Structure 1
Amino acid sequence: MRNFALATVLASGASALTIPLLSSLTGFQTIPVLSLSQGGKAQCYSGLVAVQVTTTGNTQLNFNLPANQSAVTDIFTQYLTSTSTLVQSLTGPDATVSGTFNIHAKLCFPLLSLPPLVTPPTVQFLIHGIGFDKSYWDFAPGYSQVDAAAAAGYATFTYDRLGVGQSDHPDAIQVVQSPLEVDIAHALIQMLRGGALLGTKFSKVAIGGHSFGSIQSIGIASRYPADIDAVMLTGFGLSASAFGLTFAGFNAALANKNQPARFGALSNGYLVTGSPQSNQLTFFKNPNYDAGLFAQADNNKQTFTFGEFFTLAKVVAPAAAFKGPVDVVIGQNDFIFCQGDCLSPSDQTAPVAGALFPAAGGNSDTFILPGAGHALNVHYGASRVFAHMNNFLKNNGL
Structure 2
Amino acid sequence: MRTFTLATMLASGTSALTIPLLGSLTGFKDIPVLSLSQGGKAQCYSGLIAVPVTTTGNTQLNLNLPNNQSSVTDIFTQYLTSTSTLVQTLTGPDATVSGTFNIHAKLCFPLLSLPPLVTPPTVQFLIHGIGFDKGYWDFAPGYSQVDAAAAAGYATFTYDRLGVGLSDHPDAVQVVQSPLEVDIAHALIQMLRKGNLLGTKFGKVAIGGHSFGSIQSVGIASRYPDDVDAVMLTGFSLSSASFGLTFAAFNAALANKNQAARFGALSNGYLVTGSPQSNQMAFFRNPNYDANLFNADDNNKQTFTFGEFFTLGKVVAPATSFKGPVDVVNGQNDFIFCQGDCLNPSDQNAPVTGALFPAAGGKCSTFMLPGAGHALNLHYGASQMFAHMNNFLKSNGL
TM-score (norm 1): 0.98
Matched letter for residue 43 of structure 1 = Q
Q: Determine the C-alpha separation between the residues in 1 that align with 2:266 and 2:373.
A: 30
Taking the TM superposition and a 5 Å limit, the aligned residue runs for 1:359-374 are 359-374=359-374
Question: C-alpha displacement at 1:113, in angstroms?
Answer: 6.0
Q: Which residue of 1 aligns with 2:140?
A: 140
Q: Deviations over 1:9-56 (max 9, x none)?
A: 412483222222223110000000000000000000000000000000
Q: Which residue of 1 aligns with 2:10?
A: 11
Contact 1:7-1:20 within 8 A present in 2 as well: no
Taking the TM superposition and a 5 Å limit, the aligned residue runs for 1:337-352 are 337-352=337-352
Taking the TM superposition and a 5 Å limit, the aligned residue runs for 1:289-304 are 289-304=289-304
Q: Determine the C-alpha separation between the residues in 1 that align with 2:258 and 2:12.
A: 32
Q: Does residue 1:51 correspond to 2:46, yes or no?
A: no
Q: Which residue of 2 aligns with 1:112?
A: 112
Contact 1:5-1:22 within 8 A present in 2 as well: no
Identity of aligned residues (%): 85
Q: Determine the C-alpha separation between the residues in 1 that align with 2:51 and 2:210.
A: 22
Q: Determine the C-alpha separation between the residues in 1 that align with 2:69 and 2:202.
A: 46
Matched letter for residue 10 of structure 2 = A
Matched letter for residue 268 of structure 1 = N
Contact 2:23-2:116 within 8 A present in 1 as well: no
Q: Which residue of 1 aligns with 2:239?
A: 239
Question: C-alpha displacement at 1:114, in angstroms?
Answer: 9.6
Q: Which residue of 1 aligns with 2:164?
A: 164
Deviates more, 1:16-25 or 1:267-276: 16-25
Matched letter for residue 183 of structure 1 = D
SS in 2 for 1:349: coil
Contact 2:272-2:303 within 8 A present in 1 as well: yes
Q: Determine the C-alpha separation between the residues in 2 that align with 1:96 and 1:335.
A: 34
Question: C-alpha displacement at 1:112, in angstroms?
Answer: 1.7
Q: Determine the C-alpha separation between the residues in 1 that align with 2:221 and 2:50.
A: 23
Contact 1:5-1:23 within 8 A present in 2 as well: no
SS in 2 for 1:185: helix
Taking the TM superposition and a 5 Å limit, the aligned residue runs for 1:46-195 are 46-112=46-112, 117-195=117-195
Contact 1:172-1:269 within 8 A present in 2 as well: yes
Q: Deviations over 1:289-324 (max 9, x none)?
A: 000000000000000000000000000000000000
Q: Determine the C-alpha separation between the residues in 1 that align with 2:299 and 2:276.
A: 9
SS in 1 for 2:310: helix
Contact 2:26-2:196 within 8 A present in 1 as well: yes
Root-mean-square deviation (Å): 1.2
SS in 2 for 1:337: coil
Question: Unpaired segments of 5 or more residues in structure 2?
Answer: none
Q: Which residue of 1 aligns with 2:308?
A: 308
Q: Does residue 1:220 correspond to 2:220, yes or no?
A: yes
The total of aligned residue pairs comes to 396
Matched letter for residue 11 of structure 1 = L
Q: Deviations over 1:260-299 (max 9, x none)?
A: 0000000000000000000000000000000000000000
Q: Determine the C-alpha separation between the residues in 2 that align with 1:327 and 1:4.
A: 39
